[in-house]
Structure 1
Amino acid sequence: MKIIRWLDKHFEESVLILLMIGISCTMFLQVIMRYFFNMPLTWPEELSRYMWIWTVFFSMSYTIYMRNMLRVDVLAEFLPERVRQILEISIQFLSLGIYSVFAYYSLIVYRSLVISGRVSPALRIPMYLVYSALCIGFFLSIVRTLQLIVELVMEMRGRKSEHLKMMEEMQETMKKEGI
């Protein structure tokens, strides 16, 4: 159970950290090889681009988990609390539908790439490995949105989830430290 709880709290964060380290190291290697040894490599830029794609799709579910999705909530601020909560839950159900449609079509793209056997130009890796980021990213977004809906319903009923308590503690700590 501890492993599942840790994964719930830190999975996307850990993958994103590893991907950013990978991008930094790969591009650093490319700079060293190009400018100091005058021997540019062909694969680092492609690998960095693919890691960046993975970063984008993992970031999507991470921002849902952290409740940091971009939003325009000017009108919602004027609504009564109960109406605002219902609106937020409705928006999350709409988001869930959108992520589900994108997940479905990402599976179609993934399947077509598996069948075609297409490989990347420099690394010669199957392109379905790159595009699997879409499937995984949208699946994780669906899971995180479902979690968020449950949390919002709990909040509407007057109970705080463990995740919300953790977020409030983080916000208090940031205020104390002046961040």
Structure 2
Amino acid sequence: MQSNTVAPFGLLGKIDAVIGRIEIWILGWGITLMAVNTIANVFGRYVFNQSIYFSEELNEFLIVIVTFMGLGYATRKGIHIRMSAIYDALPIKLRKGLMVVIATTTAVVMAVLAWYAFEYVQKVASRGRITPALQLPLYLTYVWVVIGLTLASFQYLLTAIRNLNFADEDVYVSYLEIDSYEDPETASAIKKFQDTAEADK
């Protein structure tokens, strides 16, 4: 199931928009740096016969960042995997109620996981361990787990809040994404194809 986006509104909408821009920036740069780092390492290995000594460690660090920042982003966009056979068969109001329960429960689970991750980061930081190649504090790698889980918890909480308005007939899979069978990317591609076909006539 895919979704349609609605315009943000209110204070929560502004906070969500700011978080979204930060997530996109971090994810964009994280993936770009992974690609550049990997290509540079391959180039160095096969052209100069010398690998970049910190390349593997840097990629591991970036994978953690992209994975857990991506968790918050996927939740914000409502593109996470859902098992919805029973949910789809329910009337709109029951679906909204079930979405509130699901989103609230998931928000609590994510918050609990974030708390345990935070405690682990504190333990790692207290031991003063550093990474072998970059010589950076090891806890800087794991702090992104806390950030990602916290953002996911916040997004699920926003989803629950948004669905509390039972006067609104739309069911939201995130704060801004309306639950829908239409795939906006596919619909856009089909429309472009149709426009091009019309222009060629």
TM-score, normalisation: structure 1: 0.87
Mapped partners of 1:91, 1:13: distance in 2: 26
Change (3 A) 1:111 1:8: closer
Q: Point out 4+ residue stretches in structure 1 off by more than 4 angstroms.
A: 3-6, 159-162, 170-174
Mapped partners of 1:8, 1:117: distance in 2: 30
Secondary structure of the residue aligned to 1:178 is helix
Q: Which of the residues 94, 111, 120 maps onto 1:83?
A: 94
Could you say which structure has the higher helix fraction? 1
Match of 2:51 in 1: 40
* Long gaps (5+) in structure 2: 1-10, 192-201
Change (3 A) 1:49 1:172: closer
Mapped partners of 1:84, 1:159: distance in 2: 10
CA RMSD in angstroms comes to: 2.6
Match of 2:176 in 1: 163
Change (3 A) 1:159 1:150: farther
| 1:35-56 alpha-carbon deviations (Å, 9 max, x no partner) | 1100112201110111001111
Match of 2:196 in 1: none
Summarize the alignment of residues 1-179 of structure 1 with structure 2, pairs less than 5 Å apart: 6-154=17-165, 156-158=166-168, 163-164=176-177, 172=184, 174-178=186-190
TM-score, normalisation: structure 2: 0.78
Aligned residues: 176
Pairwise CA distance, 1:4: 5.3
Q: More deviation in 6-15 or 44-53? A: 6-15
* Long gaps (5+) in structure 1: none
Mapped partners of 2:69, 2:128: distance in 1: 25
- In structure 1, give the amino acid aligned to 2:190: G
**Which structure carries more relative contact order (alpha carbon 8 Å, separation 6+)?**
2
- In structure 1, give the amino acid aligned to 2:35: S
Mapped partners of 2:102, 2:15: distance in 1: 28
| 1:59-86 alpha-carbon deviations (Å, 9 max, x no partner) | 1111110011111101111112211111
Q: Percent identity?
A: 20
- In structure 2, give the amino acid aligned to 1:163: L
Pairwise CA distance, 1:34: 0.5
